[in-house]
């Protein structure tokens, strides 16, 4: 059986969560009984687990005391693909807004709390700060890949000082990192690196967001860099400022010659650094451009004194990507020697990329190095990235490299804020990404996205809107649209070749519970034969709360999953019935209405050993309620993101005797039923009920998890 590794550890992880109870037969959030208590002033609003899950709990009273009454709270931060800025909405439960996001990649994260889209506030329980942006806080997710961003042991690092100087009649300041054991006396002077910031960016951002001190401290401790003085200026300082250089040489014991001078910068600062080095090659022997925007005008300077000219860019979401492509061609034409670090596939124009750039650049200064190639994992420039012109293609546009461009129609030209809200976070949590105005339309490119199935809606000035350029639909959620990013990981969610899959038909039946005609969708396998001698086994598959019978096809990709599993030889030929579970008595609806209608229409078995029942969330609760009430009615039972509930009155022996497979699934800590689900396992163990649970399915309470659950479950049915 071809399968994908979707399950992870089932051990409880130290993330602060609030229990959610699953009432028998329905998914109910026990907001009153289980609501979080108001947090004390010193109770952290954020906790981060060792696994990288960020758990936010923001007291309503604290928010409203700071910014006034709010209807919603979100966390803005660099949580999106390629560390792009995005918004993570919290859910109000009792007296707090809460939510869990993750697992986040190792790295430094920046965030602020925002009420009702516009009312920003600083997390008062987080002692970190960003000097240039008072509302921001940071947190660090540790990992081997970011070990150079961690603090060194106290007393082992360098020292950061403020240097004040005058230029053009104004008093300015710069930050200066001095290496450990720096001495202002002695025969040997230090080389110096001038590190520029972007336009409008404070020098302090290199410390607060760029982790420059930690990087330099760690490189120094590892002896991976030459001892040097690093001078950090803000984005308004001119590259190669003579007055700054004079102040540095007067204050510190540094070399004056070009062979001992380096310059680098980010964005516009990188542009300035390149211009300074190319215009004054006798002043700087080393230059680095981190997402610099210089494209031409390099001339043909006397570059014999330049020992290193190294270029860095993020992926296609970095404005420097196209600029770097043009610059390399201009340098080639001018026959200027340079090095290119390659395209960073995992970051755009942000501090997460620039941290890596600094780590790569500094060890190359003032010494001989043997490696002149790109960083590990970095790719080549493939020419300029240009999505289709506005209005020329349905959206979203998905490039071959899995970057997705969202675009609105011209209907929202007068809007103030437009966002796309999609399952873009790790393993499928929802994030909002702001679109930028381009003429009469709004646009944004995000990525790279993992191959998978994505769903989204537009938010226009706070109102949910359907992307009318996308022909897909979700019946139960009229403003949602969907798209698929192709790849091996998403193969089982893709369409099979025309004519090779099963059929999905509508089945109308009379509901005596709802007192109306209702509809189910039924998948029959390829080659379905209503006249074969042996009836087909049947699998009843239920949706969740707020959904309906269409969701497993439109959102769960049930047809694609079943088609692929069948064609791969992993699936017992079966009939799958997806009914409408929005009723007051699901057990009666299923057994007295849906099942008889399905048997009347299709050649399916009535033998319990050839019947299966599963559901997600509310449907999982309904499934487990039926299992407890009618043990043995279905030999194969599964619940996705649903708890077992109370064990009172449960006949464990009857369940064990009548059930060949009871398989349970749940998302990770971002699935709000996770706490109650784990409690359910204890209940089942105490009752002595046999079940299977292979660990959490990474992801939230959403379709990313439930699709994986169906992929895993379907091949297990009717095989024992």
Please say if the pLDDT value at position 29 is more than 60. Answer: no
Mean predicted confidence (pLDDT) in 506-524 = 97
Find the angle CA(450)-CA(451)-CA(456) to the nearest 5 degrees: 80
Is the backbone of residue 559 left (phi > 0), alpha (psi -120 to 50) or beta?
A: alpha
Instruction: Encode pLDDT of 428-480 as tens digits.
Output: 999 999 999 999 999 999 999 999 999 999 999 999 999 999 999 999 999 99
pLDDT attached to residue 3: 46
Question: Does CATH place domain 35-142 in 2.60.40.10?
Answer: yes
Tell whether the model's pLDDT for residue 299 goes beyond 80. Answer: no
Residue 326: Cβ within 10 Å count: 15
Q: Do 397-491 and 497-716 have matching folds?
A: no
Mean pLDDT of the chain: 91
| Element housing 195 (H / E) | strand 192-196
Q: What is the pLDDT of residue 256?
A: 86
pLDDT band at 200 (very low <50, low <70, confident <90, very high): confident
Q: How far apart are CA 471 and CA 343, in angstroms?
A: 34
What's the rounded Cα separation, in Å, for the pair 467 and 464?
10
User: Given phi > 0 = left and psi -120 to 50 = alpha, else beta, which region is 158?
Assistant: beta
Q: For residue 92, what pLDDT is reported? A: 96
Q: What is the DSSP letter of 156?
A: S
Residue 8: which pLDDT band, with cuts at 50, 70 and 90? Answer: low
Q: Work out the average pLDDT over 566-592.
A: 97
Separation of alpha carbons 282 and 171, rounded Å: 27
Query: In the prediction, which pLDDT does 344 show?
Result: 97
CA dist 336 and 311 (Å) reads: 13
The structure's pTM equals 0.90
Q: Is the dihedral of CA 391, 76, 144, 697 positive or negative?
A: negative
Residue spans of the domains in the chain: they are: 35-142, 148-364, 397-491, 497-716
| Homologous superfamily, domain 148-364 | Alpha/Beta hydrolase fold, catalytic domain (3.40.50.1820)
Measuring CA to CA, which residue among 235, 287, 237 is closest to residue 264?
Answer: 287
* Superfamily for the 497-716 domain: Alpha/Beta hydrolase fold, catalytic domain (3.40.50.1820)
Q: Which residues are registered as beta bridge partners of 56? A: 46, 99
Q: Does residue 258 surpass a pLDDT of 90?
A: no
In angstroms, the Cα distances linking 31 to 37, 154, 264, 582 are 11, 45, 53, 22
CB 265 within 8 A of CB 198: yes
Model confidence band, residue 629 (pLDDT cutoffs 50, 70, 90): very high
User: Which residues sit opposite 54 in a β-bridge?
Assistant: 48, 101
pLDDT tens digits, 311-344 = 999 999 999 999 999 999 999 988 899 999 999 9
Flag whether pLDDT at 1 surpasses 80.
no
| Strand order through the sheet with 91-93 | 46-48, 54-59, 96-101, 91-93
Nearest residue to 252 via CA among 269, 271, 230: 230
**Between residues 214 and 720, the one the model is more confident about:** 214
CATH number of 397-491: 2.60.40.10
Mean pLDDT of 378-384: 93
Q: How confident is the model at residue 40 (pLDDT cuts 50, 70, 90)?
A: very low
Q: Average of pLDDT values for 502-522?
A: 97
DSSP for 642-695 reads ------TT--HHHHHHH-SEEEEE-B-TTSTTHHHHHHHHHHHHHHT---B---
Q: In sequence order, which residues have a C-beta less than 8 Å from that of residue 90 and are 6 or more positions away?
A: 56, 58, 72, 73, 74, 75, 97, 98, 99
**Predicted local distance difference test score (pLDDT) of residue 27:** 32
- Torsions phi, psi for 464 (to 5 deg): -70, 130
9 or 362: whose pLDDT is higher? 362
Can you tell me the mean pLDDT for 551-579? 98
pLDDT digits (tens, 9 = 90+) for 126-185: 999 999 999 999 999 999 999 999 999 999 999 999 999 988 778 899 999 999 989 888
- Choose among 557, 532, 539, 518: nearest CA to 708: 557
Average pLDDT over residues 611-618: 98
| Residue 645: predicted pLDDT | 93
């Amino acid at each position: 059986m071809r399968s994908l590794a979707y399950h992870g550890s089932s051990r409880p992880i130290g993330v602060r969560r609030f229990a959610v109870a699953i009432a028998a037969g329905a998914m109910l959030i026990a907001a009153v009984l289980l609501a979080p208590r108001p947090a004390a002033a010193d109770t952290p609003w954020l906790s981060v687990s060792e696994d990288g899950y960020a758990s936010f709990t923001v007291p309503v009273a604290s928010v409203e005391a700071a910014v006034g009454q709010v209807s919603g709270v979100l966390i803005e931060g660099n949580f999106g693909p390629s560390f792009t800025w995005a918004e993570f909405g919290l859910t109000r439960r009792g007296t707090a807004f809460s939510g869990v996001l993750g697992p986040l990649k190792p790295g430094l994260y920046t965030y602020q709390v925002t009420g009702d889209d516009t009312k920003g506030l600083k997390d008062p329980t987080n002692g970190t700060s960003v000097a240039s942006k008072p509302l921001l806080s940071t947190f660090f997710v540790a990992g081997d890949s970011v070990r150079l961003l961690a603090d060194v042991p106290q007393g082992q690092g360098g020292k950061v000082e403020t240097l004040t100087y005058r230029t053009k009649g104004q008093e300015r300041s710069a930050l200066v990192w001095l290496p450990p054991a720096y001495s202002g006396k002695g025969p040997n002077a230090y080389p110096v690196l001038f590190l520029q910031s972007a336009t409008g960016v404070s020098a302090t951002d290199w410390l607060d967001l760029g982790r420059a001190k930690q990087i330099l401290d760690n490189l120094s401790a590892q002896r991976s860099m030459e001892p040097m003085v690093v001078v950090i200026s803000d984005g308004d300082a001119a590259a190669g400022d003579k007055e700054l250089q004079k102040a540095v040489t007067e204050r510190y014991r540094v070399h004056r010659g070009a062979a001992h001078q380096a310059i680098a910068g980010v964005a516009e600062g990188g542009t300035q650094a390149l211009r300074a080095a190319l215009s004054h090659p006798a002043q700087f022997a080393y230059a680095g451009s981190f997402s610099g925007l210089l494209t031409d005008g390099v001339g043909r300077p006397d570059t014999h004194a330049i020992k290193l000219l190294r270029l860095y860019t993020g992926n296609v979401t970095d404005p420097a990507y196209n600029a770097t492509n043009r610059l390399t061609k201009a340098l080639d034409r001018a026959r200027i020697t340079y090095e290119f670090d390659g395209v960073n596939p995992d970051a755009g124009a942000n501090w997460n990329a620039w941290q890596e750039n600094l780590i790569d650049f500094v060890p190359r200064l003032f010494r001989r190095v043997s490696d002149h190639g790109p960083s590990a994992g970095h790719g080549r420039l493939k020419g300029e990235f240009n999505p289709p012109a506005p209005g020329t293609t349905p959206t979203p546009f998905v490039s071959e490299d899995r970057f997705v461009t969202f675009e609105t129609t011209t209907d929202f030209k007068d809007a103030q804020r437009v966002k796309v809200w999609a399952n873009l976070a790790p393993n499928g949590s929802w994030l909002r990404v702001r679109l930028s105005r381009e003429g009469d339309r709004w646009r944004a490119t995000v990525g790279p996205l993992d191959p998978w199935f994505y769903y989204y809606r537009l938010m226009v000035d706070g109102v949910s809107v359907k992307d009318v350029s996308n022909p897909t639909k979700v019946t139960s959620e009229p403003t949602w649209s969907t798209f698929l990013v192709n790849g091996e990981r998403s193969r089982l969610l893709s369409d099979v070749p025309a004519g090779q899959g099963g059929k999905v038909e509508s089945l109308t039946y009379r509901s005596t519970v709802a007192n109306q005609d209702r509809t189910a969708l039924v998948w029959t396998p390829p080659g379905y034969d209503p006249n074969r001698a042996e009836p087909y086994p049947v699998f009843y598959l239920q949706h969740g709360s707020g959904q309906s019978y269409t969701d497993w096809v439109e959102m769960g990709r049930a047809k694609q999953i079943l088609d692929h599993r069948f064609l791969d030889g992993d699936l017992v030929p079966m009939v799958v019935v997806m009914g409408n579970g929005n009723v007051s008595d699901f057990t009666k609806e299923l057994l007295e209405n849906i099942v008889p209608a399905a048997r009347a229409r299709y050649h399916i078995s009535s033998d319990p050993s050839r019947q299966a029942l599963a559901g997600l969330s509310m449907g999982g609760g309904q499934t487990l309620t039926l299992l407890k009430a009618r043990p043995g009615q279905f030999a194969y039972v599964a619940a996705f993101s649903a708890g077992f509930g109370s064990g009172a009155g449960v006949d464990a022996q009857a369940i064990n005797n009548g059930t060949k497979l009871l398989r349970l699934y749940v998302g990770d800590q971002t699935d709000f039923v996770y706490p109650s689900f784990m409690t359910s396992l204890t209940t089942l163990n105490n009752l002595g009920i046999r079940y299977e649970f292979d660990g959490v399915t990474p992801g939230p309470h959403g379709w990313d998890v439930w699709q994986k659950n169906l992929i895993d479950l379907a091949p297990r049915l009717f095989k024992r």
